[in-house]
Amino acid sequence: MVILMMIQVTVKMHLLQMSPLNMKQQLLKLLIRIVSYCHKQTLNLHQEDHKDNQSAFGALENEIAEGFLAVVDEIVKAHNGLGLSDLYPSLKFIPVDMFPGGVETSASTIEWTMSEMVKNPRVLQLAQEKVKGIFQSKGNVDENRLNELIYLHAIIKETLRLHPAGSLVLPREMRETVHIYEFEIPANTRVLVNVWAIGRDPSYWMDAEKFCPERFLNSSIEYKGTNFEYIPFDAGRRICPGIQFGMSVVQLTSANLLFHFDWKALNGLENLDMIEQFGITLTRKQVLRLIPIAPDYAMPMLP
Ligand code: HEM
């Protein structure tokens, strides 16, 4: 809840910076205070949760927290002469960056990937066959052979073309005046890059609105910031630092969902809409409601 609030406030801060409101400064200050408050609340909740937590999961989380503190320690050492309190204002925004950056984006990409597959039963069936072909003998999906899931990878790439989680990426400010075609963009202008529109531009994509993962098979187009018609992770120096992690999480989760279940839309295919909701990430407007059907081989044997 607190994290969700932080995400929503962060979006409002970005949008507010674009607005011509006179009260913009005061509102921005207020929002920054809310983010700081949410951050403190998150830390408090975390401490409460782990006061008496002796479970294996708690131990793992504590280990991760210790790892994070060790990194903080290194940063403090690297900034000779500065104490933790000097760095705290920047450090406290690292989790604020990581949560919207890492969690919402991957989760919404998984939801869109499932939506598109269920909406396109031919694609769903083929993807399922490929996943089972590779992992059936082992009995479960793991990271070791993920790179063999070429068709699923193409499906996720196609999903990111149509539904890029960061649809407007992060705002930029022009350092100098530039001319693009007949437009002049003056220095200091705040610019948003519309990745969503670029991915659907018919001058770059054949049948741009159609979900067709095959377009990425035998294609050299990648999401690493070198093909400007396809930049779901953006490009340049501020490109998403979590590309590999994000893609692995989406791929591993989707492969598991395909391996263990067949899927049907709860209210029928004709009622499965693909309406998007704009926010810091581009999520579905209505949550995806699917029925998981366990295949015969997963049923427990009756005595
Ligand atoms: C499918 C999953 C993901 C997508 C589509 C995605 C997309 C993006 C996009 C479009 C940006 C904006 C880059 C820019 O403005 O130039 C971004 C930034 C960022 N992403 Fe990701 N991301 C994903 C997963 C992750 C993960 C898993 C992490 C971390 C664990 C992460 C961490 C970040 C951070 C910290 C930034 C801010 C970078 C900066 O301020 O320079 N992302 N991401």
Q: What is the pLDDT of residues 11-43, one digit of tens each?
A: 555 555 555 555 556 665 666 666 666 666 665
Highest mean pLDDT out of 27-31, 75-79, 219-223, 296-300:
219-223
Alpha-carbon distance values, 217 to 125, 156, 190, 202, 244 (Å): 17, 12, 37, 19, 19
Check: CB of residue 131 under 8 Å from CB of residue 149: yes
Q: Which of 209, 5, 240 is nearest to 119 (CA)?
A: 209
User: In the predicted model, is pLDDT for residue 181 greater than 60?
Assistant: yes
Where does the pLDDT of residue 295 fall: very low under 50, low under 70, confident under 90, or very high at 90 and above? confident
* 106 within a domain of the structure (yes/no): yes
212 assigned binding-site residue: no
> Does some domain include residue 16?
no
Q: What is the pLDDT of residue 269?
A: 92
Look at the chain and count its residues: 303
Tokens of 267: 């209210």
Number of domains in the chain: 1
Q: Which of 77-86, 146-155, 206-215, 288-297 has the lowest mean pLDDT?
A: 77-86
**Residue 104 pLDDT greater than 70, yes or no:** yes
Q: Which of 6, 94, 109, 233 to mutate to test the pocket of ligand 1 (most atoms within 8 A of CB)?
A: 233
Q: Which atom of ligand 1 is nearest to the CA of 250?
A: 1
C-beta of residue 94 within 8 angstroms of C-beta of residue 267 = no
pLDDT average, residue stretch 195-224? 96
Which residues in the chain belong to E strands, given as ranges? 172-173, 178-180, 183-185, 190-191, 262-265, 276-277, 283-284, 290-293
17 lies in some domain: no
271 within domain boundaries: yes
Range of the domain at 128: 98-303
Which long-range contacts does 275-279 make (Cβ < 8 Å, 24+ apart)?
A: 276/163, 278/167, 279/7, 279/8, 279/11
The residue-averaged pLDDT of 76-81 equals 68
Print burial letters for 91-117: b (CB count within 10 Å at least 16), e (below 16): eeeebbeebbbbebbbbbbbbbbbbbb
Residue 70 token pair: 């060790």
CA of 238 to the centre of ligand 1 (A): 9
Distance between CA atoms of residues 134 and 202, nearest Å: 35
Q: Is residue 7 part of a domain?
A: no
Look at residue 280 in the predicted model and tell me its pLDDT. 72
54 vs 258, higher pLDDT: 258
Ligand 1 centroid distance, CA of 239 (Å):
7
Q: Assess if residue 300 is contained within a domain.
A: yes
Indicate the helix (H) or strand (E) that contains 108. Answer: helix 105-119
Residue 176's pLDDT band (cuts 50, 70, 90): very high
**The tokens of 114 are what?**
């499932």
pLDDT at 1 over 60: no
* Residue 102, domain CATH: 1.10.630.10
Q: Which residues line ligand 1 (CB under 6 A)?
A: 97-98, 101-102, 105-106, 109, 165-166, 169-170, 232-234, 238-242, 245-246, 250
Q: Which residues contact 44 (CB under 8 A, 6 or more apart)?
A: none
Would 53 be classed as within a structural domain? Answer: no
pLDDT in tens, 111-162: 999 999 999 999 999 999 999 999 999 989 999 999 999 999 999 999 999 9
Q: From the CB of residue 65, how many other CB atoms can be counted at a distance below 10 Å?
A: 12
Phi, psi (deg, nearest 5) at residue 193? -95, 125
Give the mean pLDDT of the chain: 82
Instruction: Give percent above pLDDT 90 in the chain.
Output: 54
- Specify whether the CB–CB gap between 117 and 127 falls below 8 A: yes
How far does the centroid of ligand 1 lie from the alpha carbon of residue 102, in Å? 6
229 contacts 201 by C-beta, under 8 angstroms: yes
**Banded pLDDT at 108 (limits 50, 70, 90):** very high
Instruction: Please report whether residue 260 resides in a domain.
Output: yes
